[in-house]
Amino acid sequence: QKEVEQNSGPLSVPEGAIASLNCTYSDRGSQSFFWYRQYSGKSPELIMFIYSNGDKEDGRFTAQLNKASQYVSLLIRDSQPSDSATYLCAVNRGAQKLVFGQGTRLTINP
């Protein structure tokens, strides 16, 4: 079992709809969770982080964490074509280490 799992996609969503990206992790001791966005040919960009159970909202983005189910998700409201990218879920393991999922490729269709 991989430490961090994501559906690789591609996930196709119409413009204006809600995109929902999911991630599960195996280490129950994980405390910190991150979402990175990576455009093709570019570097990963940190867009959301969440440390506590529940929802965290930032603009059109909402991160959701459920530690009991070992599940973290990212919702993108009012999806725009510029949101088309690969989204990487990352989980903190130990004091300094991030473990990444394989990423979900998201396409927003105009």
Partner 1 sequence: DTAVSQTPKYLVTQMGNDKSIKCEQNLGHDTMYWYKQDSKKFLKIMFSYNNKELIINETVPNRFSPKSPDKAHLNLHINSLELGDSAVYFCASSQDGRLQYFGPGTRLLVL
Let me know the angle formed at the C-alpha of 3 by 33 and 55, rounded to the nearest 5 degrees. 25
- Report the residue number, 20 or 38, with the smaller CB distance to partner 1: 38
Q: Are 63 and 55 in contact (CB under 8 A)?
A: yes
Contact between 88 and partner 1 per CB under 8 A: yes
- Report the residue number, 11 or 98, with the smaller CB distance to partner 1: 98
Q: Out of 15, 45, 57, 58, which residue is the one contacting partner 1 (CB under 8 A)?
A: 45
Residues contacting partner 1: total by CB under 8 A: 21
> Strand 11-14 vs strand 104-109: parallel, antiparallel, or unpaired?
parallel
- Report the residue number, 43 or 69, with the smaller CB distance to partner 1: 43
Contact between 43 and partner 1 per CB under 8 A: yes
Contact between 97 and partner 1 per CB under 8 A: yes
45 Cβ partners below 8 Å, 6+ apart? Answer: 36, 37, 38
